[in-house]
Amino acid sequence: MNYPESHRDCIIVRNLLVRGILGINPDERTSRQDILINLEIFTDISAAAASDSIEDSLNYRSLTKAVIDHVESAQDLLVERLVTDVANLILREFPAQAVRVRIEKPGALRFAESVGIETYRTASSSTDT
């Protein structure tokens, strides 16, 4: 995939497994379930690469903690809402130019490993919901 020049550096978080309330069925509203999250955070890493200092880097441990805290407390009905909220959270609270967020519910559909939604947002297109 071709990315704009400012979006070529990317921090990747793969298969972050969080337990939360997500869904419209009665059992989904009362029992926590697995929610699988994949993130691509597009940010300029040149300052951190040059200095080798965490102060010049996007702190992906803090970012991941913020995503986990949000997902564990959100209790959304739709994956569409959660994936949008996570993208907006990252763009609002961290120095990212763009983000790709994929959220999946493993085992949500019979005969499917998982079902999910992926979104791509830029800092200039992000809107809070």
Active site residue: 20, 105, 108, 121, which one?
105
**105 labelled catalytic:** yes
Residue 121 to residue 70: CA distance in whole angstroms = 18
Q: Are 35 and 117 in contact (CB under 8 A)?
A: no
Map residue 34 onto helix, strand or coil: strand
| Active-site residue set | 105
